[in-house]
Every structure is written in C-alpha cells, then in structure tokens.
Structure 1
Amino acid sequence: MFRRAAALHRLFSIIRKPQVKLFTPGPLNTTPTVREAMMYDFGSRDPDFGKIVEDIKVRLLKIADVKPKDYAAVLVQGNGTYAVESCLGTAFPRLDPGDRSQRMLIIANGSYGERQVKICEVLGIPHIVLRYADSEIVNPDDVKRQLNEHHQITHVSVIHSETTTGIINPCLEIGKVVHEHNPNLIYIVDGMSSFGAVHLDLYEGHVNYLISSSNKMIQGVPGFAFVIAKLSDLMQCQGNSRSVGLDLYEQWDYQLSNPGQFRFTPPTHVMAAFHQALVEHEAEGGVKARGERYRNNQRILSEEMRKLGFKLYVDPKNQGVCITTFMQPSHPKFNFKVLYDYLAERNIVIYPGKLSKAPSFRLGNIGELYADDMYECINKLKEGFKFMGVPLPLEED
C-alpha cells in the first residue's frame, strides 16, 4: 500500500510540474485545446471517432494540395519511422534472393537518411546509397549521374528536412530529375520535419509517396504517422510488404470498405488531438502562415546566437525551418550537460547535437512557440553561460 501511494505521489508531482518549453524537433509544445482533445475516451468503433479519422485524411490531402482522385492519405500507428519502414517496405516489390534487377537509391546527408539505409538492409531491399556530409545539401546533378550509371534503380528516396542538422534538400528539383530520367521511377520523400510548414508541390515534383507524422509541423502529439500516396502506384503494391502490421497497401485497402476503421487498434486519443491540431493549423493560415512563424523563430535564434559569437554548422542558404545546429564553444569551462541541466531547471529544454565529427548542440523552433519564446531562450542561455563562467560574446577560435 505504501509503495502504491508513493508511486501515485510521484506521478501527481510530474503532472503538476510547470510545463517546459521544448526547443526540440518533436515532441513539441502543443496548445491546451489540442491536449484537451485527448480527455475523451473514444472506442475504436465509435462512429464519431470514425468521422474524425476520415476528416483527418481529407484535411491532410488539403494541406498537401492534392486531389483525392490522385492521392490517398494512409494513417500508420506508431512514430515516423514506422511510416518510413511501412512505405519503403510496401513500395518496393519482393524479389527472389540474389535478384538485383531493381534497386532503391537512398540519398543520405544525415542520420535519417542512414536510418533508411538500415531499413533497406533489414528488409532485404537491394539498394545504392548516395552519401553527402551532413552539412551538404543534395545536388540533383549527382542524382542524375547515379541514375545514368545504375540502370537497375527503380526507386529513389530522400529526406526533405534532415533533422540531424536542420538542412533542407531541393526535393522539387530532385523529383524533376528523377521523372525526366524515367517517368516510371518511384520517388519517395520523407517530409517528417517539413510537411505542414514547407510546401512541396507533389505534382510538379512528381512525388509518389510523402511521409510525415503527427508530432511535427501540424503540432499534434506522438503516436501515429501517415503517408500521402499516389493511388496509381499504391494500387500496384499488394503483396509487397515484408510486414503484417506495416503493410501500407493493406492499411489503405481495409479502410476502403471500412471507413474510419483500422485493421489493428488505433491511437484514439492521439488522433483526436491531431484532428484538433489540424483545425488550428487551418485557423492559423495553413502552410504559409505556419511556415512564416517558424521561419521568424529560426531567424531570431540564428541572428541572436551569431551576435553572441556562435557559429552555424549549416550554411544559412541551406537552412530549414525546424532546427538549427550550433558549434559548441572551445572554452575549457563549457560543459553541455551543465548548460542543459541549468536550462531544464528553468523550464527550457534544448537538444544535443548529432554530428559525428564535431561537438554541437541544436535549438528547435517549432511547436507552439513564438518570437517572445525565442528571446526568452536566448536570455536563459546567456544566464547559463554566465553560470558556467564562459564569457559572451565568444572569442574567435
């Protein structure tokens, strides 16, 4: 009894603690109304829940600016990587062992491109990797060269906004190169950290599959992801999947005859929250307004940090709107953990770096955050550096 009471006390203490501001790429800060949408317990067969599911799909196609006769929004339980694996594993056909007549070209300039490589390895998808440094954007001419040199390539996959560093890739131009080489090639875009704030014309870019998730630019909570799939291609994918639960074709096909329903238990609370987030996304002004707010947030962080002597890892002209990577100071008193803990105690949460070659840290600027929050973050960072005894602005290395 005592242990149960102690556990409940710890739980209620967590619930009552002040809400931190998340300068991270997701999960991120949501509005009170998005959180409130999770307070009702829907049954998975509830007709009202089914209406929510169907309206989510309609709204996703509207954000993507595509017609329902051309594309379908397929919802996948789990995080963003579940949808990536579902898409890669369904879009690419099963081949006999040793058959290399078809290959996937994975374009990687960060951790999430490399994750796609690992997925292909585990699923047994023959693939070629076009790699760049994580500070470099993809050059469409290199993609063209790969297509010319490797005639077995039938699928091309790339990350739009690579969260490893915050770099954004020219997916429209890449898609044009792929289509020009061969209109029958399948083009897959991971739009995890761009969809909803950075528009990508799926028609002009000849995108066959676009992947994203609930807890990014739409400002929902984690729990499911989705694929905007070109119908003429998805309809050819029956039997391709190497998984039961992650079969994108079966997920779509089941809902054709069972609108609003799922083959397996859906995250009902998460979807209710996401539906509310979609309503708020539209009310804010859609992709254009959401993107402008995020760009302004990112601009403030970058400008103020540079005034303090911090160096950007990514060239500003290649910088996306989600997260920015800063190089760590070389000052002997600088300690990232001390800085992180200092900020966290003051309800500011930042992100460690993911670079393999140089120490860095990252500041995200998406979610329910505004200009005033950016300045608050900067001021708390200044206090943290004073606490560590590191003078600002930083001296040149």
Structure 2
Amino acid sequence: MTVRPAASETGDPLLLTPGPLTTSKAVKEVMVHDWGSRDQAFIDINQAVRDGVVKVAGGERTHTCVPMQGSGTFSVEAMITSFVPRDGKVLILVNGAYGKRAGKICDYHARAYVTYETPEDTPPSVEEIGRLLDEDKEITHVFAVHCETTSGILNPIKAIADMVQAKGRRLLVDSMSAFGALPIDAKSVHYDALAASSNKCLEGIPGMGFVVCRLSALAETEGNANALTLDLFDQWKSMEANKQWRFTPPIHVIVSLDQAIKEFFAEGGVEGRGGRYANNCRVLVEGMRDLGFETLLPDDLQAPIIITFHKPADANFHFETFYNMLAERGYLIYPGKLTVADSFRIGCIGRLHESHMQGAVDAVREVLREMGVSNCAPARAAE
C-alpha cells in the first residue's frame, strides 16, 4: 500500500518539528485582517494575550507577561540581560545547544557566568547544583532549560527550582519547548522569570516571545538591561502605563496567539494539550521501535515534545534521501544536532493527532522499503 501525502486541515505539509508548528485553520484565518496598533480593539487583544499567558503559567496576581518581538531567543536574551545585574553571576546548566546559547548571550553582554555541563542525554544532578552554589557565593542566578530540544530531554525543573530557592539564589527558566504542555505552575515552581514563545506548545505562529516575570523580581530590574529593545523593565512599565508596545508590535502574530490561547483552554489547558502530545509521543515511539529504531533517551527522561532517534547503520540509509522522501509524503522532520550520537529528530507537538503520528510511522516504513534499508539499528547495536 502506498502512503498518500499527508496534509494539515489547510492542505499544508505536517510539521513534525519543535517549531514552527502545524497550526489550526482558525489560527491562520484570524491573520487575514488588519488592525491598528493604537486602536482599542487591538489593545484589548494584546491585553488578553498577556493575561492568558499568565493564566497558563498559574501566576495570577503574582506574575506578569512581558512580550517581546522576535523569536524565542530574543526573549531569552531579554530575560538574562534584564534580570541579571551587570555585577551579577550566572550558573548556566548545560546539556544541549540552548544552555550553550545562554553562555553566548552572557559573553555578548559581559555577564559573568560559570557552567555545569552534562552530556546531552543526561540531566543535571540537583545535588551538584547545590554544591556549586555553596562553593561559589558570587553566583546570583541559575539558568536552566526546562526541555532541551537538542535531544528532547526533560530536565528536573521543580527540583532545580527548590534547590535554587533553598540556597537563596534566583532562577531563570528557558521553557521554550515545554510551556503549555508540561507542568511548571508558578505557585509551586519558584522562579524570577520564564521565557517561552508563541510558536511552540501554545500553537501560535512565529514572531513573538514572552517572559513570565515574578512582579516583585521584575520591579528590581530597572537599569540592568544594556539594550534598549531588550529592556523588559522598560517594556513592562510602558505597557502598564498605556497597554501599548514601545515599538511596532507583531500584530498578526499577537492576534493569532489570542486565538491559539482560546483553543488551548478549550482543549483542557496543560493537562489536555500535554495529554495529546504524550499520546502522540507514545504512538511515534512504539511505531518507530517496532521498525527497529532506537531512541536516544530512556522513557523516563523523554519529554513528549521531540524525539531523537539514532540513525540506522545500514549502508542504504542516507538521511537526506530519507528526509526528502518523507517530505514528498507530507511529513517534515528535523536533522539531529547532537555531539553524542548520529541522529535525527521527529516532533509530536503542534496541531497533530494520533492518526497523524501513525501516518508518519507508515510513511517511514514505506520509505525504508523503497530505500532498501533492512536494519534500523544504530552502529553500536548493529555491530
């Protein structure tokens, strides 16, 4: 049986990636109109988005949402450079590309930092974090990635937050690929700031990030930023004064995110969205393992966001061919970016359901047959 090309409800290929993602028809359709950035109708939508994000975070009355133009990295950079004073020092937890990127941000902005690095398939030890904080009293902040999409690993963010709070330090979280799908309730996970994006688990489109900020901590950040456009304090004070952006807002992104947040709550919030993704992950992993593929991570470390698979050692397997043949069938996946293993990645977030994941597995089966790949075990297991 030949697998027919897959498509979203609007006829587009399915994006099995960590973002940008497949979005709903309604999220796309709301963007076909124009709004004035100073008009009350848009101002109300912008406020609804800010309030909705805070509700997702569980931070009503204690936190606020400060949106920023650009990709998620813009918001991470704004978070680090606004919350870490110029004489501060950051402990960066690294087990993938996004922890390393935080170090690069600190380099650019002359923020002192040290790193605690573990392999890409290994979460940080909470006890080691405590030891490092005890040894270096100059550390003021800890930066942690919630779900590191380099591998798909879920880091123990609640335990990290508890340790950082116990040691009297401040936590900054990159929850880019997890926010909205994995629990990180502000009432139980103590952080100063958390950065995320419109185009991940909230299922909006790219172009806007945001930082969920503890109000008491944000109030202390005036003067920290050394970039006008990335100054979260200034952005916050301006929005609180007149509900408007300091500079031209990404209007269509904001309007589509408003629609996406409505759909998020209609699905059941974090529990509903995360439950669908977890089922997508189960179907994908079980199907790929049945074909002989091996996952990089054990199930207890795997977040239901994006799955890293070892490349087969079979001489007939060529990733570019594999990718292109899946794309012809309507499934767009991601190459790997690991140093610990030769791999590729398949995402299970966005407007995807069980039937889409089963269709992807069926397409992989057909592509392998056409490529003449008979053994999907990686090199270490194939020897």
Structure 1 residue runs of 5 or longer lacking an equivalent are 1-16, 96-101
Equivalent in 132, 140, 145 of residue 154 of structure 1 = 140
User: Does the 8 A contact of 2:294 with 2:377 survive in 1?
Assistant: no
Which residue of the partner structure matches residue 18 of structure 2?
25
- 2:234 counterpart of 1:250: yes
Return the letter of the residue paired with 1:188: L
SS of 2:228 mapped into structure 1: coil
Q: How does 1:245-394 map to 2 (within 5 A)?
A: 245-259=229-243, 261-391=244-374, 394=377
SS in 1 for 2:104: helix
**Equivalent position of 2:46 in the other structure:** 53
Separation (CA, whole Å) in 1 of partners of 2:376 and 2:341? 21
Instruction: Report the Cα offset of residue 363 of structure 1.
Output: 0.6
Question: Is 2:204 the partner of 1:238?
Answer: no
Matched, 1:92 2:84: yes
Q: 1:173 aligns with which of 159, 165, 189?
A: 159
Task: Note if contact 2:314-2:376 (Cα within 8 Å) is conserved in structure 1.
Answer: no
Which residue of the other structure, out of 64, 70, 82, is the alignment partner of 1:78? 70
**How many percent of aligned residue pairs carry the same amino acid?**
39
Partner Cα separation in structure 1 for residue 212 and residue 38 of structure 2 = 24
AA aligned opposite 1:321: P
Shift >4 Å, 4+ stretches: 392-396
Give the Cα–Cα distance (whole angstroms) in 2 for the partners of residues 344 and 201 of structure 1: 37
Specify every segment of 5 or more residues in structure 2 that has no aligned partner in the other structure, as ranges: 1-9
Decide whether the 8 Å contact of 2:145 with 2:175 is kept in 1: yes
Task: Tell me the SS of whatever aligns to 2:172.
Answer: strand
Partner of 2:320, secondary structure, is helix
Q: Give, in angstroms, the shift of residue 347 of structure 1.
A: 1.1
Distance in 2 between residues matched to 1:356 and 1:342, nearest whole Å? 26
Determine the C-alpha separation between the residues in 2 that align with 1:59 and 1:272: 12
Quick one: which amino acid aligns to residue 124 of structure 1? A
Report the AA paired with residue 82 of structure 1.
Answer: F
Asked whether 1:195 is paired with 2:179, we answer: yes
Query: 1:357, CA displacement in angstroms?
Result: 3.3
Task: Give the AA of the match of 1:219.
Answer: E
Deviation per CA, 1:345-380: give whole Å up to 9, x if none. Answer: 111101100112321000100000000000100011
The whole-number CA distance in structure 1 between the counterparts of 2:298 and 2:180 is: 23
Matched, 1:140 2:140: no
CA deviations on 1:120-145 (whole Å, 9 max, x unpaired) are: 11110000100010000121111101
1:386 to partner: Cα distance: 1.0
Matched residue type, 2:221: C
The question of 1:44 aligning with 2:37 is answered yes
2:6 is matched with which residue?
Answer: none
Partner of 1:11: none
Over residues 137-156 of structure 1, what are the superposed CA-to-partner deviations in whole Å (9 max), with x where a residue is unaligned?
12111110110111101000
Give the superposition deviation at 1:238: 0.7
Q: For residues 138-196 of structure 1, what are the alpha-carbon distances to aligned partners after superposition, in whole Å with 9 as ceiling and x for unaligned?
A: 211111011011110100010001000100011101111111111xx211111101111
Deviation, 1:383, is: 1.0
Give the drift of 1:23: 0.5
Give me the whole-angstrom Cα distance separating, in 1, the residues matched to 2:195 and 2:304.
Answer: 18
- Offset, 1:394: 4.8
TM-score for both structures, normalised by structure 1: 0.92
Aligned letter for 1:36? Answer: E
Q: Per-residue deviation at 1:205? A: 2.1
- Tell me by how many angstroms 1:203 deviates: 2.9
Distance in 2 between the 1:61 and 1:201 partners? 10
CA–CA separation in structure 1 for the residues paired with 2:205 and 2:279: 23
Question: Match of 1:7?
Answer: none
What is the match of residue 7 of structure 2? none
8 A Cα contact 1:176 1:204, kept in partner? no
